[in-house]
Structure 1
Amino acid sequence: MFIEAYTTLGADVCTFKHAGLRALYEIATLPPDERTREHTLKSGATKVPDEMTVRELREVKAALKAEREAREQAEARAEKAEGDYDLMCDTLEAVRAQPPRVKFPIFS
């Protein structure tokens, strides 16, 4: 665990010298751009990762994961909708290209 924290954080480990090993691990497994950014916790407090407890770090990681998954699902839905629209347009163009088929009732 400490090896992963050190190899990920490198010289920045000194910045987190007052954090415990578990907290260092949690910080090391955060995406790099999220390690120095302030995060708003469920409690309403705003902290940077080196000020957070292990529980708070896990809360932030769970929120980031949920946000990422929601974004991926939205992108997938948008791609599907775009594909459905393209298919509909292709079908409409194919129908427009056909000669009209009008049936007249036969009078006896």
Structure 2
Amino acid sequence: MPEIEFHHAADEEMKAAAVYYDDQVVGLGSDFLDEIESGLNRIRRFPLLSPIYDGEYRRYLLKRFPYGLIYRIEAQKIFIIAVTHHQRKPKYWIDRT
């Protein structure tokens, strides 16, 4: 299975969301991270399953939380460019490399 790599800003988005959820209800941040991990496992197994979102980027939608994983399939890895809330401005992440 391909390796997963996070853009540093996507990693920060994921951590900030987990802290936010844990501040709301103890343990909810862990649930969020568990769902992220579940999504990453699904992306690893079926990288082409998520629909194309913009150009070379695909978007996997989390089931329990209003977030998506924006990713690009590369030769030897899957690159997560953003962990984005559904209410955030669309494509704010587009200038990340």
- TM-score normalised over the length of structure 1: 0.23
Normalized per residue, the structure richer in strand is 2
Structure possessing the higher relative contact order (Cα contacts under 8 Å, 6 or more residues apart): 2
Structure of higher CA gyration radius: 1
Normalized per residue, the structure richer in helix is 1
